């Protein structure tokens, strides 16, 4: 069994290897973390777009100020004495609100729009905590996954470098291999690689320090639901990891960054100029300072310093910088998801705009719903039921998950657009009186998530 885990770990690491450089490239231009990356970054279009898109996705999918999900009772299940979904929903929402979910999920959305794949680790807190949940956004460089032919995750490997003193404190029963004992004794902060794996429902943690795996296993167990929730922006067939808007726009991002760098270099030349002077043995070039207001002495009768014209006129318009930035903004959906402030829009125009946005986000919305929202709610309900906070409830049997986030309203707007077109045709054709107005009002109210009790 241990040999099988090592084989899976190697296979997952090999599959992830080609993606590491792509993720580093995307982070360098859209989410720089080091001083070296910041020093080489001259254009902030991609970074601004990533921040804006992550904020918009946060508001569209999981806004903290609104009830973005409901549990709806199944009438047939209600007769069998199933738990009240309204009570379960209230408990679930209270625990999510008391947890660090909303601060952590935004970090995941940043990883999602930059790298195309994000990992949300959902842990259970000790009994007595304000919330039953604790969340951590894990960088994808620390995660390796395997998927089956149905695109379902079958194995997750999480690696982390931990100081040796912390490892010995956390796992006192672990005995370091002979080749590490002296090194750990001399340097207690020596980093050791801890690998945590979830294969199926089985959990195994071991230290990747060489030697026999059996001697380096520090924890085992099982999970009812996978605590690693991994979701993607989009994915090609057969790929375990997702593709992001930044990844798609990376050629334009690199080109725009280089253009701005050349523009700044050309601006430096335009400000300070390139000069030539006669070498008459009198002028000391070390004492010449080309700054505004400076007075540079010259020999009587000499021409002094003479500006040297550059070989070519660097025309920024030839490199179409604005066109590059426009393509980056379109790839990052900045122009589509920006606030409507250019003019007053009619209700029909707003619906048409939302319908167009839903066509763009439709595939991503469906993928996030299946890879993030459903696993998140399923694990949350399982944790709450195990702690006795709620009665056990089965999604799809006892209750249905109804997603009420603003992004779902975009899909409803497309239906409303068709309904408004039908009503316009009914009025123009003279058969508007055939429309069942109470049923129409109920349909529109349901599409717009208006409570049914508000209707007469």
Residue 350 backbone dihedrals phi, psi, to 5 degrees: -65, -45
Q: What is the pLDDT of residue 293?
A: 58
For the stretch 188-216, pLDDT in tens is: 999 999 999 999 999 999 999 887 888 89
Q: Which of 183, 180, 174, 159 is nearest to 215 (CA)?
A: 174
Q: CA 242 to CA 231: how far, in whole Å?
A: 8
**Section 152-168 average pLDDT:** 95
Q: What is the pLDDT of residue 341?
A: 47
**Section 147-172 average pLDDT:** 94
* 426-430-432 Cα angle (round to 5): 45
pLDDT value at 260 more than 90: no
CB 229 within 8 A of CB 379: yes
| Average pLDDT of the chain, as a whole number | 84
pLDDT value at 50 more than 80: yes
Whole-prediction pTM value?
0.83
pLDDT value at 289 more than 90: no
DSSP state, 371? I
Q: Residue 410 — pLDDT band, cuts 50, 70, 90?
A: low
* Burial group, residue 12, by CB count within 10 angstroms (0-12, 13-18, 19+): buried
Which is higher by pLDDT, 20 or 399? 20
CB 222 within 8 A of CB 205: no
Using a pLDDT cut of 70, give the percent of the chain over it: 79
Using a pLDDT cut of 90, give the percent of the chain over it: 47
Which of 173-177, 190-194, 278-282 has the lowest average pLDDT? 278-282
Max Cα separation, the chain?
A: 108
Which is higher by pLDDT, 415 or 195? 195
Structure tokens at 385: 């039921």
Q: Residue 414 — pLDDT band, cuts 50, 70, 90?
A: low
- The residue extents of the domains of the chain are 2-247, 249-334, 419-456
Q: Residue 163 — pLDDT band, cuts 50, 70, 90?
A: very high
pLDDT value at 400 more than 90: no
Q: CA 81 to CA 239: how far, in whole Å?
A: 44
Q: Which residue matches tokens 């070296």?
A: 36
Structure tokens at 69: 């999900």
Q: CA 83 to CA 391: how far, in whole Å?
A: 6
For 172, the 3-state DSSP assignment is coil
Strands 133-138 vs 117-124: parallel, antiparallel or unpaired: antiparallel
CB contact set of 96 (below 8 Å; sequence gap of 6+): 131, 133, 380
Q: What is the pLDDT of residue 286?
A: 72
CB 255 within 8 A of CB 246: no
* 237-238-244 Cα angle (round to 5): 65
Max mean pLDDT among 28-42, 133-147, 267-281 falls in: 133-147
């Amino acid at each position: 069994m241990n040999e099988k885990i090592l084989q899976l770990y190697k296979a997952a690491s090999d599959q992830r290897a080609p993606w590491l450089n792509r993720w580093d490239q995307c982070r360098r231009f859209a989410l720089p973390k080091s001083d070296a990356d910041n020093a080489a970054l001259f254009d902030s279009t991609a970074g601004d777009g990533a921040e804006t898109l992550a904020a918009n996705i946060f508001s569209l999918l999981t806004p903290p100020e609104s009830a973005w999900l409901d549990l709806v009772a199944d009438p047939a299940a209600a007769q069998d004495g199933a738990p009240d979904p309204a009570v379960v929903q209230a408990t679930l929402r209270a625990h999510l609100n008391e947890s660090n979910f909303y601060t952590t999920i935004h970090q995941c959305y940043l990883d999602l729009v930059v790298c195309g794949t994000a990992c949300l680790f959902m842990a259970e807190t000790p009994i007595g905590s304000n919330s039953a949940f604790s969340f951590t956004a894990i960088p994808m460089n620390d995660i390796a996954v395997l998927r089956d032919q149905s695109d379902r995750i079958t194995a997750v490997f999480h690696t982390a470098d931990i100081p040796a003193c912390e490892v010995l404190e956390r796992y006192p029963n672990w005995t370091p291999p002979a080749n590490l004992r002296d090194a750990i004794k001399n340097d207690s902060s020596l980093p050791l690689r801890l690998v945590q794996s979830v294969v199926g429902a089985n959990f195994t943690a071991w230290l990747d320090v060489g030697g026999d795996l059996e001697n380096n296993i520090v924890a085992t167990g099982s999970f009812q639901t996978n605590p690693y929730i991994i979701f993607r922006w989009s994915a090609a067939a057969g790929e375990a990891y997702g593709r992001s808007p930044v990844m798609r726009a990376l050629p334009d991002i690199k080109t725009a960054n280089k253009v701005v760098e050349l523009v700044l270099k050309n601006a430096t030349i335009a400000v300070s100029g390139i000069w030539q002077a006669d070498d008459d043995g009198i002028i000391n070039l070390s004492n010449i300072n080309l700054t505004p207001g400076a007075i540079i002495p010259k020999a009587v009768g000499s021409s002094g310093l003479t500006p040297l014209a550059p070989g070519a006129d660097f025309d920024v318009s030839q490199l179409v910088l604005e066109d590059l930035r426009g393509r980056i903004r379109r790839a990052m959906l900045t122009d589509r998801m920006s606030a409507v402030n250019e003019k007053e829009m009619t209700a029909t125009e707003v619906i048409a705009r939302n319908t167009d946005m839903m066509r763009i986000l439709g595939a991503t919305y469906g993928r996030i719903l299946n890879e993030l929202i459903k696993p998140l709610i399923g694990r949350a309900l399982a944790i709450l039921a195990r702690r006795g906070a709620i009665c056990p409830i089965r999604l799809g049997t006892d209750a249905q998950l109804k997603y009420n986030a603003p992004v779902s309203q975009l899909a409803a707007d497309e239906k409303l657009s068709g309904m408004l077109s039908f009503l316009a045709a009914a009025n123009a054709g003279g058969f508007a009186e055939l429309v069942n107005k109470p049923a129409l009002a109920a349909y529109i109210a349901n599409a717009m998530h208006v409570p049914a009790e508000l209707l007469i």
